Structure 1
Amino acid sequence: MTPAPQSPDDPAAVRSPVRMGAYVVAVVFLLVGILGFVPGFTTNLDELSFAGHESNALLFDVFAVSVLHNVIHLLFGVVGLMMARGARKARIYLIAGGAIYLALFIYGLIIDYDSEANVVPLNDAANWLHLGLGVGMILLGLLPGWGVRGRRGAER
């Protein structure tokens, strides 16, 4: 007798590649969001501003961060954990999130880092990281969901 198949949304089920990709990305975003507030991981923490180019705080002494930037990372992480519960949702999270980060990369190419338009804040390192995140998330979003079908035949 073979065991009953597990639901693809069952937390105990083995995750499909796209779900695992979304889960890993979400956990990384949560860690980065938290570390953006931790002395030692973030230099010049006493100069961390809510938003804008005036924030002189640097995550890992490289990436410009602000309270807003850290909160956005935390939100991306929470949303990612929720979306990683199904293959279709994980794919949407990764591809849409990747598109957002590619748009942020393009925005970073256009603006002057010392202008009021730099609300995130961005610097060269953060901008190139956003390019890598955008491309990486979209590629992860193209991973197989193992073709798991629901009642109507749609991928979950």
Structure 2
Amino acid sequence: MSASSASPGIGAGHHRTPLELTALTAGAVFALVGIVGFIPGITTNYSQLGFAGHESGAMLLGVFQVSILHNIVHLLFGAAGLLMGRTVTQSRYYLIGGGAVYLVLWLYGLFIDQGSAANFIPVNTADNWLHLALGIVMIALGFVLGRNASHSRQP
């Protein structure tokens, strides 16, 4: 298939927009976080890594509570960014939708008892602050870069 017959956003002649590059970068970072969550040393208390729940004592970078489920979610979220970062429209959906998901996770983390079974992901206070920041930044980038990208070309 030649680049001219490829679908928009995919092909040798495609120049990535800042919006697409941002979604791809975010996806790559989330995937990397999912991977390093399984590496002893980068993840402290690795022997306490549980599948899910607040009992998992593993801490990514010694700060963020993680579990196998938490790492898998990061890997899947990263894969979504790498796949959706190929077009303007999907990149915008990824950043705005993903940011909304992180704001919901932030609210979830605020309202649950972190020592209860409701904390199945698991999250701690550091996770909550990071989720708030990620939500705000991703949504802002989706809107700002999406507005500029939609003026230049459609997917």
One fold, TM greater than 0.5?
Answer: yes
Distance 1:68 1:99 in 2: 20
* 1:147 counterpart (143, 146, 151): 151
Larger relative helix fraction: 2
Deviations 1:25-57, CA, capped at 9 Å, x for gaps: 000001100000001110011100000000000
The residue number in structure 2 matching 1:99 is: 100
Indicate the residue corresponding to 1:135 in structure 2: 136
Listed as ranges, the gaps of 5+ residues in structure 1 are 150-154
Aligned to 1:72: 73
Give the CA deviation at 1:69. 0.4
Q: Which residue of 2 aligns with 1:10?
A: 10
Distance in 2, matches of 1:148 and 1:11, equals 18
TM-aligned CA deviation for residue 11 of structure 1: 4.6
CA distance in 1, matches of 2:131, 2:37: 16
What residue in structure 1 maps to residue 122 of structure 2?
121
Which amino acid counterpart does residue 116 of structure 1 have in structure 2?
A: A
Q: Distance in 1 between matches of 2:22 and 2:151?
A: 16
Return 5+ residue gaps in structure 2 as ranges.
Answer: none
SS state of the match for residue 116, structure 1?
coil
Deviation at 1:10, TM superposition (A): 3.1
TM-score, normalising length from structure 1?
Answer: 0.89
Query: What is the deviation of 1:106?
Result: 0.4
What TM-score, normalized to structure 2? Answer: 0.89
For 1:49, the equivalent position in structure 2 comes to: 50
% same residue = 53
Aligned positions, number: 147
How many angstroms does 1:8 deviate by?
Answer: 4.9
Q: How large is the RMSD of aligned CA atoms in angstroms?
A: 1.6
Question: 1:102: Cα distance to partner?
Answer: 0.2
Partner of 2:89: 88
Question: Over residues 49-88 of structure 1, what are the superposed CA-to-partner deviations in whole Å (9 max), with x where a residue is unaligned?
Answer: 0000000000000000000000000000111111001000
Q: Which 4+ stretches in 1 moved above 6 angstroms?
A: none
Opposite residue 147 of structure 1, the aligned amino acid is H
